[in-house]
Every structure is written in structure tokens, then in C-alpha cells.
């Protein structure tokens, strides 16, 4: 966050002697001055959502600058509001989610950080375009944004150009112009004892490289199957076919915020409305009903959609524990093929 704000200030402080009110901000219908104030307002709004743990709507406040505040003063406010958002992100526990409407009505601290960085980068670009300036943020900033809140966008080699294209601000070879867009925070399902937290491409990349994906795991986690699923997620993301609601979820215990396993789909439903699901648990969490609880919730969510008619899973013949899980979740065995059994749950 601080790096994004610093890049904004470094550029715009070279133009504070110009009349920002009389210059339009790039392709927006706003002036450069209004857009700069909007950056500050977004940053404090996100900080407020996190700090206030807002759950159902935006907190009822907005930022108002004193009459006579000059351009330099606006930039000072952006700097302060960016610092407040960064502090709120650091102080917020990982499990906390606060209200944001797009698209699943909540975001965690990483989501708010990504949205705040996006606001700074994109609107600095808008102002720079209006003032005839060149703006190029550090490449890791748009990469972070894309990997957290644009999981449905196939990244190009240049992450900054990808982000500009994805938000209707530029072109990419071979891709149609974007006229309507919104970012996409991760989906979370809740059960009695668990939260199923959607793993973003950014988190998947960390898991594949041997990290924890941003989750606090019980001893022995994450299990190999979760890392393999993260690999498939990254491949789908790189190909532009990843759909986060049909991605991979970390199974996190509500009592202590520790991850115990992973569960997810093998892709979007096929033309017949069939979606395949898979899962694994860290050894220390097995035998406690977590997989059954999560599988039942995720399958029921899928079958409530218009595009899913059947959820199925394949289980190895000698994996009696997993066979018991799918059976307890309501699946029925429909076929045997070599060393695997196939189970289905229909609408």
C-alpha cells in the first residue's frame, strides 16, 4: 500500500501548480482534482470498513476536505489515508471479513489491500493521462492486484497493461476492449465448524512454491493434494478459464482460524451440468467429520445453481475413509472403473 501511494505522490507532486479542476482525468467524466480526492476517500473508506468490522453496508461517513485546500493538501491527505489503510490491514486478523458489495458481499484484509492499491494505481493513471504525464508503477503492484481481485482475468506478460485493459483503460493484442468490469473478491462458505475460503491465484502461487498460501495450518499442512490443486488453479488462471466460485477452498476451523485441508472443483460444470469435486485433509484433522461437513455444504451450494445438476467425485478403491465421507454427505456410488469408484449427488 505504501509503495502504491508513494508512486502516486512522486508523480503528482510535480504538477501541484496546475489547475486540476479544469482538466479531465483520462477517460473518466471527473476532473483531476475530484479524482485525487476520490482516491483519498476510497482509502479511508476501506480502512473504516476493516477497522469497524462493517458487515452489512458501508459505514455512514465520507471524507470532506476544508475549503481552500490546495493540490498539495489533497496529496497530503492521500498519504495519510494510505497510511491508515495500511495500518488497518496490518492490525486486522486474517479471519476477519468486512462488507464490500462485489461480488460476494465481503472481503478480507488482503482483498481490501488489493482494492486500495487498485484505486491508487488506476486513478493515478487517470490523472496522469489527463495531465499528459507518463505513469508506470512497480510491476509487482498490478501483479498483486490481478492475483487477488481479478482471478477471472488471464494475465499477460505485462501486468500493468493487463490491469489497464481489464478496467477499460487500455488495449491488449488479441483481446476485445473492456466496457464493463468489476473486481472479484474471494468467495467464502460457512458451516457450523468451518469456513471454506476461496484460494486466490496469488495464494495458489505461494502454495505451489512451498508456502502456506496466507493461511495458518495445523501441523503437517498443507497436505500434498492442496498444493496439487493449487497447481491446477494456476494453470486455469494462466489460461483465462479459472472461475473462482468453482475453484479451490481452504477448510479453516472457526474455533481457532487454522486451516485443516482443501476442497474444490476440477473446473466449471460441463454442458450436462456435471461438476467434479475433490478434497484432502491434513492427517491431524482426519476422523473428525470436517471433510463430510465441508463436502455437504459445497455440494449443496453447487446444486442450488442453475448450471449444476450433478456433483460427482472419484475415490480410490482402497480409500475406505474417503468412501465413507462421500456416503455420509449423501453421494451414491454409480460405477466402478479399475481402481476407482465414482459417486454422484444429484439435484
pLDDT, tens only, 277-334 = 999 999 999 999 999 999 999 999 999 999 999 999 999 999 999 999 999 999 999 9
Phi, psi of 313 (to 5 degrees): -145, 145
User: Which CATH number describes the domain made up of 188-346?
Assistant: 3.40.630.30
Class of residue 63 by CB neighbours under 10 A (exposed 0-12, middle 13-18, buried 19+): middle
Percent of all residues in the chain with a pLDDT value above 90, rounded to a whole number: 99
Nearest to 164 by CA among 136, 189, 200: 136
Which DSSP symbol is given to 24? B
Helices 140-149 and 2-12 pack at an angle, to 10 degrees, of 130
For 243-292, write each residue's pLDDT tens digit: 999 999 999 999 999 999 999 999 999 999 999 999 999 999 999 999 99
> Left if phi > 0, otherwise alpha if psi is -120 to 50, otherwise beta: which for 216?
beta
Who's near 54: CB < 8 A, 6+ residues apart?
A: 48, 98, 99
Pairing outcome for strands 258-265 and 216-217: parallel
Q: Find out whether 109 and 95 touch, Cβ atoms under 8 Å.
A: no
Nearest to 105 by CA among 187, 2, 214: 187
H/E stretch holding 189: strand 188-190
Is the previous residue joined to 124 through a cis bond, with omega within 30 degrees of 0?
A: no
Quote the CA–CA distance of 64 and 6 in Å, as a whole number.
22
Q: What is the assigned CATH class of domain 2-166?
A: mainly alpha
For 75-110, write each residue's pLDDT tens digit: 999 999 999 999 999 999 999 999 999 999 999 999
Phi, psi of 52 (to 5 degrees): -90, -5
Q: Cell 475549503 maps to which residue? A: 67
Work out the end-to-end distance of the chain between its first and last CA atoms, rounded to an integer number of angstroms: 45
Q: Which three cell numbers stand for residue 279?
A: 478434497
Where do the CATH 1.20.120.450 domains begin and end in the chain? 2-166
Q: For the chain, give the mean pLDDT.
A: 97
Quote the CA–CA distance of 23 and 245 in Å, as a whole number.
41
The pTM is what?
0.96
Question: Which residues lie across from 253 on neighbouring strands?
Answer: 194
Where do the CATH 3.40.630.30 domains begin and end in the chain? 188-346
State yes or no: pLDDT of 338 exceeds 90. no
Q: State the CB neighbour count (10 A cutoff) for residue 220.
A: 12
Check residue 163 and give its pLDDT.
98
Quote the CA–CA distance of 265 and 298 in Å, as a whole number.
9
Amino acid at each position: 500500500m505504501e509503495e502504491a501511494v508513494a508512486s502516486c505522490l512522486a508523480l503528482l507532486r510535480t504538477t501541484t501548480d496546475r489547475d486540476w479542476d479544469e482538466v479531465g482525468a483520462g477517460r473518466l467524466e471527473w476532473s483531476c482534482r475530484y479524482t485525487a480526492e476520490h482516491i483519498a476517500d476510497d482509502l479511508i473508506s476501506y480502512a473504516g470498513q476493516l477497522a469497524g468490522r462493517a458487515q452489512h453496508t458501508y459505514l455512514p461517513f465520507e471524507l470532506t476536505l476544508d475549503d481552500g485546500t490546495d493540490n498539495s493538501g489533497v496529496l497530503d491527505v492521500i498519504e495519510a489515508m494510505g497510511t491508515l489503510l495500511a495500518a488497518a490491514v496490518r492490525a486486522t486478523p486474517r479471519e476477519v471479513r468486512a462488507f464490500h458489495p462485489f461480488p460476494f458481499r465481503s472481503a478480507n484484509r488482503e482483498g481490501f489491500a488489493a482494492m486500495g492499491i487498485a484505486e491508487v494505481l488506476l486513478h493515478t493513471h487517470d490523472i496522469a493521462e489527463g495531465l499528459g504525464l507518463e505513469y508506470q508503477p512497480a510491476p509487482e503492484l498490478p501483479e498483486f492486484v490481478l492475483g487477488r481481485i481479478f482471478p477471472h482475468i488471464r494475465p499477460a506478460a505485462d501486468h500493468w497493461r493487463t490491469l489497464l485493459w481489464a478496467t477499460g483503460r487500455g488495449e491488449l493484442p488479441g483481446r476485445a476492449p473492456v466496457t464493463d468490469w468489476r473486481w472479484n473478491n474471494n468467495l467464502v462458505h460457512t458451516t457450523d465448524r468451518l469456513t471454506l475460503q476461496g484460494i486466490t491465484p496469488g495464494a495458489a502461487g505461494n502454495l505451489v512454491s512451498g508456502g502456506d498460501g496466507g493461511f495458518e495450518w495445523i501441523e503437517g499442512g498443507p497436505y500434498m493434494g492442496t498444493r496439487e490443486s493449487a497447481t491446477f488453479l494456476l494453470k486455469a488462471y494462466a489460461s483465462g478459464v479459472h472461475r473462482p466460485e468453482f475453484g479451490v477452498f481452504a477448510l479453516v476451523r472457526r474455533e481457532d482460524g487454522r486451516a485443516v485441508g482443501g476442497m474444490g472443483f476440477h473446473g466449471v460444470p460441463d454442458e450436462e451440468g456435471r461438476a467434479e469435486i475433490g478434497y484432502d485433509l491434513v492427517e491431524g484433522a482426519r476422523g473428525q467429520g470436517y471433510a463430510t461437513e465441508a463436502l455437504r455444504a459445497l455440494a449443496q451450494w453447487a446444486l442450488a445453481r442453475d448450471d449444476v445438476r450433478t456433483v460427482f467425485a472419484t475415490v480410490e478403491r482402497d480409500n475406505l475413509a474417503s468412501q465413507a465421507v462421500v456416503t455420509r454427505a449423501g453421494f451414491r456410488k454409480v460405477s466402478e472403473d479399475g481402481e476407482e469408484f465414482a459417486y454422484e449427488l444429484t439435484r
